[in-house]
């Protein structure tokens, strides 16, 4: 991916680490992964970036969370959003 495209992606999406940081460390990155695996209702909407590899047992695509959806979810679920360091 080009630098310009990645810059746009980072403006529109958070990584699992960033989501955890925004929420003050809870949910943790591992909890977010568990929610994705279980497909629980309490989990955040997410996307996986890139094509899925045929025949690959593990799905190693990059997981991202839409910024606006994530911020609404944090607020609705009682998390106090924090500012991320640059």
Q: Say if pTM beats, i.e. exceeds, 0.95.
A: no
Contact predicate 21/82, CB 8 Å? yes
Question: Which regions of the chain are under pLDDT 70?
Answer: 1-10, 40-42, 80-86
- For the chain, which residues make up each domain, given as ranges? 3-76
Note the pLDDT tens digit of each residue in 15-35.
Answer: 999 999 998 888 899 999 998
What's the CA gap between 84 and 55, in Å, rounded? 37
Tell me which residue of 74, 70, 81 sits closest to 13, measured CA to CA.
70
């Amino acid at each position: 991916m080009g630098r310009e495209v990645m810059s746009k992606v980072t403006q529109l999406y958070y990584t699992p680490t960033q989501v955890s940081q925004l929420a003050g460390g809870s949910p943790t990155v591992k909890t977010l992964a568990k929610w994705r695996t279980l497909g629980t209702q309490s989990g955040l909407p997410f996307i996986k970036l890139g094509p899925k590899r045929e025949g690959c047992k593990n799905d190693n695509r990059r997981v991202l969370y839409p910024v606006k959806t994530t911020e609404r979810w944090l607020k609705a679920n009682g998390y106090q959003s924090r500012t991320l360091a640059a």
